[in-house]
Amino acid sequence: MLGQGFVSAAAIAASVLFILSLGGLSNQEKAKRAVWYGIVGMGVAVFFTAFGPGIGGYGWLIPMVIIGAAAGTYLANKVEMTEMPQLVAALHSFVGLAAVFVAWSADLERRRVLAAQAADGVMQEFSAFAALVATKAPDELTFLQIEVVLGIFIGAVTFTGSVIAFGKLAGKVDGKPRQLPGGHLLNAGAAVLSLLLAVLYLNGAGFWTLILLAALAFFIGYHLIMGIGGADMPVVVSMLNSYSGWAAAAIGFTLSNDLLIVTGALVGSSGAILSYIMCKAMNRNFVNVILGGFGGSQGPAAEIEGEQVAIDASGVASALNDADSVVIVPGYGMAVAQAQSAVSDLVRKLRAAGKEVRFGIHPVAGRLPGHMNVLLAEAKVPYDIVLEMDEINDDFASTDVVIVIGSNDIVNPAAQEDPNSPIAGMPVLRVWEAKQVFICKRGQGTGYSGIENPLFYKENSRMFYGDARESLNTLLPLVD
């Protein structure tokens, strides 16, 4: 058993490692090292917490750690990068549900301590948490109850919201925004009832208040995320990440665990900041996205003129051979096809021929913040040719060829040309300004968000149909 001094020192060390991890993830070149900071930090946090003072029940604890580690290892080996967004959403749900269970357990222990003290003032068996509760003054117990309420409410919202986000990202739930009759009034009513139950609980009502509070919060999480459209799902994932952090912080206060408080606050604040940044990148109102029910049509969409014209690999290769400058815009379709290695091979071949090749990355490309950057880093694409939207948007007008691989919303001119579009005002990559645009796409579908894209019908655009990896592998031998 380790002393409290060791545990406190470990908490500081783990917190520093978590901060370094978050800071490194903002840079593509430092991302891998940053991940290791996080791994080591979490290992330190788990070890010193598990063997700290007042911790027991190792007959249960050790098997649970082994089972969890085995499940994590299995998932890490099994899950492809294309499935990472829905995996992240699923992990958020675990954090939320854990917060609910811990808060329920904390209140049951509080009631057990108070009952024993009222009976004879002595408890025969103290858990570490019960011993802590027994030393609290009445006002401190009130704060404990507030922490329990916050943990249950935020955790329950996080759980069901993350489950629905997982379903939408995995294609198991319709990506269109859907709400029950009553819309936001149902959410508001559930929130008011939750507040009423919290007041009743703080004034001595029974455990049933916490059960009903969790049920209402489960509904709010479900209904909020169901009301958010597919175009906003990257923001939703980031937002749920923030919720899971605040839930963890609330439980950290309940358990008097400084490391959990710090870690939860880091996750919560970084997730909130990232959500705000992404909303700005998509021209979305942060509060509107959080409240849900957005991403739908604002009126009749503009009619699209022209037709989609297909081109084969030889036609694309001919244009690339004649081009001096090429920009590649990757999207979720590249991830689905696992085409990043083929893209990297194409880049090396074009650069060897003396052509200028760069990447244009939209902040919300894919279904997870930074999704495309991670895939390109995995394929060993040089960091210096991967540019953000603001860095490359003005260069499209002087670009010979743009290759769009599996993108829809982030290259949709309707965002600037159609005020009734669901993505009206969203900053996009202006690929249509290039001399020629080739869109690598499986078929004529509208993409994940269900929004039609006028880019596909423009005179300088050609549709390069087929699986992205197969299409690029067909193209590679034809490029000089």
Walk across the sheet containing 436-441 and list its strands. 386-388, 356-361, 325-330, 401-405, 436-441, 461-465
Compute the distance between CA of residue 225 and CA of residue 59 in angstroms, rounded to an integer.
39
Residue 409 a catalytic site member:
yes
Compute the distance between CA of residue 330 and CA of residue 327 in angstroms, rounded to an integer.
10
- 418 backbone dihedrals φ, ψ, rounded to 5°: -120, 105
Long-range residue pairs from 124-130, CB within 8 A, at least 24 positions apart, any chain:
127/56, 128/53, 128/54, 128/55, 128/56, 129/255
Going from the C-alpha of 72 to that of each of 46, 75, 154, 439, 445, the distances in angstroms are 15, 5, 24, 37, 35
The DSSP element (H or E) to which 404 belongs, if any, is strand 401-405
Q: Which of 107, 232, 409, 418 is catalytic?
A: 409
Cross-strand bridge partners of residue 402:
327, 437
**Percent helix / strand / coil, the chain, rounded to 5:** 65, 5, 30
Q: Shortest CA distance to 283 belongs to which of 388, 432, 431, 410?
A: 410
AA identity, residue 292: G
Contact 264, 247 (CB under 8 A): yes
Query: Which tokens sit at 376?
Result: 């390109």
Catalytic center residues:
409
